[in-house]
Amino acid sequence: MKRIFPLLLISLFCLSCEEDKSLDLTGRVTYIALEGGFYGIYGDDGVGYDPVNLPADFQKDSLRILFNGTILTEQASYHMWGTSLKLNKIERLR
């Protein structure tokens, strides 16, 4: 019993510290000339995002967008750039 209690406390602490992995931001699509070239997003929060599902209609350099996505913490990217992101919603800004 004495060994279970500390493990239980650690488990509860870790669950309460879990970060929200979703975000709503504006940003700009940009062409990244690495690894054969790909499109990334520079968020207005100053972070570079590597979307795994950027639609072809949005693959335009300097395009301003509003997007919602989920950060993929368990997925590695071969681009070696930015934070991996699965887009849930994306729209053009004027």
Q: What does the DSSP 8-state code read for residue 19? A: P
| Residue 5 falls inside a structural domain | no
Q: What does the DSSP 8-state code read for residue 1? A: -
| Digit-coded pLDDT (tens) for 39-68 | 999 999 999 999 999 999 999 999 999 999
| Residue 76 falls inside a structural domain | yes
| Residue 30 falls inside a structural domain | yes
Average pLDDT value over all residues in the chain? 84
Q: Could you tell me the CATH number of the domain that includes residue 53?
A: 2.40.50.500
| Residue 82 falls inside a structural domain | yes
CA–CA dist 42, 67 (Å, integer): 11
Q: DSSP readout, 32-81?
A: E-STT-EEEEEETTS-EEEESS--GGG--TT-EEEEEEEE-TT---TT-S
| Digit-coded pLDDT (tens) for 23-40 | 999 999 999 998 889 999
Instruction: Provide the number of structural domains found in the chain.
Output: 1
Tell me the pTM: 0.75
